[in-house]
């Protein structure tokens, strides 16, 4: 019976969310950031916390290909709708209320456009800067749906190789159309995650190993080029290289089932908190940090915000995700069942990989 959950992935996903939260809360180099946050001597590494997004995309590649292994694009889309939208809509509402309290109330059209998860495509600013990663995720899902709808899952690794070559081509020649259609600036991370799932399911072979090395090199090249001018020295390059290599090694250990006790130990709290934490921490967290700056002890303020975000994330999971994810998935599936299981019938492609 195919796997439906890998415990270590929950833990790694939570680590990625904490890295991004550390970057947003503790790195004083962000525009508008408060310089007087605690622990300036030890939190300088927080400026690399944005690399947690790379890990997030790699994990997404792993999990989404695992979820899609049944081959039904309708079930896949319904599962994504039920998984993402209930908590996201709550996050949008909280962000809108916080912005309104700060005198920056977004209009109704802005809020409605954000509820789609694709405000940029509608020419509307995002309520929270972290939403850009969700738009990238939706683009990745669209590519997976195309593969499933064409019955091409049996050719998944050939398709991943083609996608990787497009990423390398864009990297060498700078082709905006490739980035628009195939998210080539982030593709290497998704490809690596998908390949690590294939290794876990089917074992390592020379072709998968070669593609993983290429994906690592492409992702590292992208990350180094994207470093801001202030972090372009050899030390920053080394830190980014170590982080990205560490992400690959962690997923390799998961793929080869060599993660020791983590292999069988569940991490339900980490799995439950990750997505709400990512959605809720930025706008709300910074509003509280700005309000308390100069009024509350900075150590108390910092940790109160961190723990408060974790508590609110659990409340959203318990009250919203648990209650509405299943019904929303079922409702979406009822609608999608009206469409054929193959949108490109007669192509002669299998549905298993």
pLDDT digits (tens, 9 = 90+) for 174-218: 999 999 999 999 999 999 999 999 999 999 999 999 999 999 999
Cα-Cα-Cα-Cα dihedral sign, residues 313, 316, 317, 321: negative
Q: Does the residue 161 lie in any domain?
A: yes
The range of the structural domain enclosing residue 48 comes to 7-336
Q: Does the residue 344 lie in any domain?
A: no
Q: Which of 128, 97, 92 is nearest to 111 (CA)?
A: 92
Dist CA 150 CA 142 (whole Å): 12
Residue range 305-321: average pLDDT? 96
Q: Does the residue 341 lie in any domain?
A: no
| pLDDT for 347 | 42
Residue 254 has pLDDT above 90, yes or no: yes
Residue 55 has pLDDT above 80, yes or no: yes
**How many domains does one find in the chain?**
1
Q: Does the residue 1 lie in any domain?
A: no
Residue range 328-352: average pLDDT? 74
Q: Are 239 and 264 in contact (CB under 8 A)?
A: no
Residue range 325-344: average pLDDT? 92
- Which of the two residues, 268 and 140, has the higher pLDDT score? 140
Q: What is the pTM assigned to this prediction? A: 0.93
Express as a percent the part of the chain with pLDDT over 70: 90
Please provide the average confidence, as pLDDT, over all residues in the chain: 90
Q: Does the residue 68 lie in any domain?
A: yes
| pLDDT for 298 | 80
| pLDDT for 47 | 81
| pLDDT for 147 | 96
Q: Which of 287, 294, 223 is nearest to 25 (CA)?
A: 287
Q: Does the residue 23 lie in any domain?
A: yes
Residue 350 has pLDDT above 70, yes or no: no
Q: Are 305 and 48 in contact (CB under 8 A)?
A: no
- Which tens digit of pLDDT belongs to each residue from 289-306? 888 877 888 888 889 999
- Which of the two residues, 263 and 143, has the higher pLDDT score? 143
Which range is least confidently modeled, 222-226, 264-268, 303-307, 327-331? Answer: 264-268
Task: Please return the burial class of 4, using the count of CB atoms within 10 Å of its CB with bins 0-12, 13-18 and 19+.
Answer: exposed
Q: Does the residue 175 lie in any domain?
A: yes
Q: Does the residue 352 lie in any domain?
A: no
Express as a percent the part of the chain with pLDDT over 90: 74
For the chain, the first-to-last Cα distance in angstroms comes to 14
């Amino acid at each position: 019976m195919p796997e439906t959950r890998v415990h270590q992935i929950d833990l790694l996903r939570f680590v990625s969310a904490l890295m991004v939260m550390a970057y947003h809360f503790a790195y004083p180099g962000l525009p508008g950031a408060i310089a007087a946050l605690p622990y300036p001597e030890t939190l300088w590494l927080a400026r690399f916390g944005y690399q947690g997004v790379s890990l997030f995309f790699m994990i997404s590649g792993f999990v989404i290909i695992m979820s899609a292994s049944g081959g039904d694009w309708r079930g896949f889309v319904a599962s994504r709708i039920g998984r993402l939208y209930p908590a996201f809509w709550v996050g949008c509402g909280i962000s809108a209320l916080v912005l309104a309290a700060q005198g920056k109330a977004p209009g109704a059209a802005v809020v409605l456009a954000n509820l789609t998860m694709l405000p940029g495509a509608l020419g509307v600013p995002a309520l929270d800067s972290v939403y850009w990663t969700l738009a990238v995720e939706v683009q990745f899902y669209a590519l997976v749906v195309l593969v499933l709808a064409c019955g091409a899952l049996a050719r998944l690794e050939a398709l991943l190789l083609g996608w990787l070559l497009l990423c390398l081509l864009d990297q060498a020649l700078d082709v905006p159309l490739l980035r628009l259609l195939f998210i080539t600036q982030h593709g290497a991370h998704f490809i690596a995650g998908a390949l690590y799932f294939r290794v876990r399911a089917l074992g390592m072979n020379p072709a998968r190993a070669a593609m993983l090395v290429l994906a690592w090199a492409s992702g590292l090249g992208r990350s180094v080029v994207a470093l801001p001018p202030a972090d372009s020295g050899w030390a920053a390059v080394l830190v980014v290289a170590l982080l990205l290599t560490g992400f690959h090694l962690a997923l390799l250990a998961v793929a080869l089932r060599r993660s020791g006790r983590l292999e069988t130990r569940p991490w339900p709290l980490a799995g439950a908190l990750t997505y709400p934490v990512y959605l809720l921490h930025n706008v709300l967290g910074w509003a509280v940090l700005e309000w308390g700056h100069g009024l509350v002890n900075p150590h108390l303020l910092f940790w109160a915000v961190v723990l408060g975000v974790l508590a609110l994330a659990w409340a959203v999971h318990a009250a919203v995700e648990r209650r509405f994810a299943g019904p929303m998935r079922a409702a979406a599936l009822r609608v999608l069942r009206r469409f054929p299981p193959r949108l490109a019938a007669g192509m002669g492609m299998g549905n298993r990989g």
